[in-house]
Amino acid sequence: MSRLIRRQGWVAGLLVLFVVLLVITKLIQPGYGSGDFGSLVRAVLPYAFAVAAQTIVVIAGGIDLSVGAMMALTSVTAASMMDGASEEYALFVVPFVLAMGLVLGAVNGMLIVVTRVPDIVVTLATLFVLQGAALLVLGAPGGAVAEWLRATIVGTFPIPGLPGISAWIPKALVLLVVCLCIIWIPLKRSKLGLSIYAIGSSELAAFRSGVPVARTKIIAYALSGLFGAMGGLALTMSTGIGAPIPGPYLLASVAAVVLGGVALGGGKGGLLGPIVAVFVLRLVRTDLTLLAIDPNVTAIIEGAIMVAVVMFGAFITMRGRQ
């Protein structure tokens, strides 16, 4: 029970931190309005999917170093398939790319189960493989994206009768929430979700209580690949092109997962914490930019915040244990 309170307390604390940061942003830049919030959400979108991909694997007791490369590969695949194709063709591209992410993620999981090599090494190897494949698909940034796909993340979500509130609900946020909930909520309530937490908490205990460890692990990685593919699509949707060299998504995803209260050993935490954490991290970056701080100093501050928060979290856990 006390653990539950502590975990929810962590998420609540993050939410408070986010609101405080929003207030600070408003103080720094009195003109900060719904439009700026919309662009924040659009910037967060690929990061949020990367974080979701990492979260599910970390809960299952693993780690996925190939998140960034997976996003790069799915992004270039989508962009090069849609290049010069008709608008309707994109209706086929989106499911294809999502299926590709699912399959590649499952391959990751199968390799881990079959070879018995540690997760970190297997995903390190697949990082190289996926990155190489991305370079083969598209040697340089390029490609195109269907207009209607771009339109799904630009603008706000209209709620009839409430124009004031609807201005603050960007379409990108709706897309993010829908995509995450559609997978996460049924998962969390199902036996499969419980199994994922079980193998993360103790593989041996889970095996002895009859949880199909290998199958659960493969599914966890497959879902991670699916989230990665969503991230790749989001990347293509927001930039309009595909880029074969992955961005800083790996580091950002691990940082947000830890900041969001998911233990790296596995078995603890949820999806909400990391998602709020990634919003906090991006908003800090926005604030630092608004304060006209040198972007290089921003990187230092971000790293310092990450390290300090993680140290603080570890310290709290230590005190709680004593």
Partner 1 sequence: MSISAIQPVPFGRRIKRFMADRPLIPLIILLVILVVILQILRPGIVNERWLANTIKFAIPLAILAGCQTMTMLTGGIDLSVGTVATMSAFIMATQVVNHDPAAAILIALVPAVLIGLVNGIGVGVFRVHPLIMTLGTSLIGTGCLQVYQRTVIASGAKIPPFLAWLGTGLTYGVPNALLLFVPIAVLIVFTLRRTGFGRLLYAVGDNEGAARLSGVRYWQVITALYVISSVLAGITGLLYIGLIKAPSLSLAEPLVLPSVAAAVIGGTSIFGGRGGYTGTIIGALILTVLTTLLTILQMPEGARRILFGLIVLFVTAAYLRIIEDR
List residues near partner 1 by CB under 8 A: 63, 111, 115-118, 120-122, 124-129, 131-137, 139, 251, 254-255, 258, 264, 294, 296-304, 306-307, 310-311, 314-315, 317-318
Q: Would you say 94 or 287 has its CB closer to partner 1?
A: 287
Minimum distance of partner 1 from residue 20's CB (angstroms): 23
Minimum distance of partner 1 from residue 198's CB (angstroms): 20
**Residue count (the chain):** 322
At CA 294, angle to CA 308 and CA 277, rounded to 5? 35
Minimum distance of partner 1 from residue 96's CB (angstroms): 20
At CA 251, angle to CA 248 and CA 256, rounded to 5? 115
Q: Would you say 28 or 125 has its CB closer to partner 1?
A: 125
Q: Would you say 65 or 146 has its CB closer to partner 1?
A: 65
Q: Would you say 176 or 280 has its CB closer to partner 1?
A: 280
Minimum distance of partner 1 from residue 97's CB (angstroms): 18
Minimum distance of partner 1 from residue 88's CB (angstroms): 30
| Segment holding 286, helix H or strand E | helix 272-290
Q: Would you say 178 or 299 has its CB closer to partner 1?
A: 299
Q: Which of 103, 93, 47, 86 is nearest to 251 (CA)?
A: 47
Q: Would you say 184 or 221 has its CB closer to partner 1?
A: 221
Distance between CA atoms of residues 245 and 209, nearest Å: 43
Phi, psi of 136 (to 5 degrees): -70, -35
DSSP state of 145: -
Which residue pairs, CB below 8 angstroms and at least 24 apart, start in 190-199?
192/216, 192/219, 196/56, 196/59, 196/60, 196/220, 197/59, 197/267, 198/267, 199/60, 199/61, 199/266
Distance between CA atoms of residues 205 and 307, nearest Å: 32
Minimum distance of partner 1 from residue 240's CB (angstroms): 23
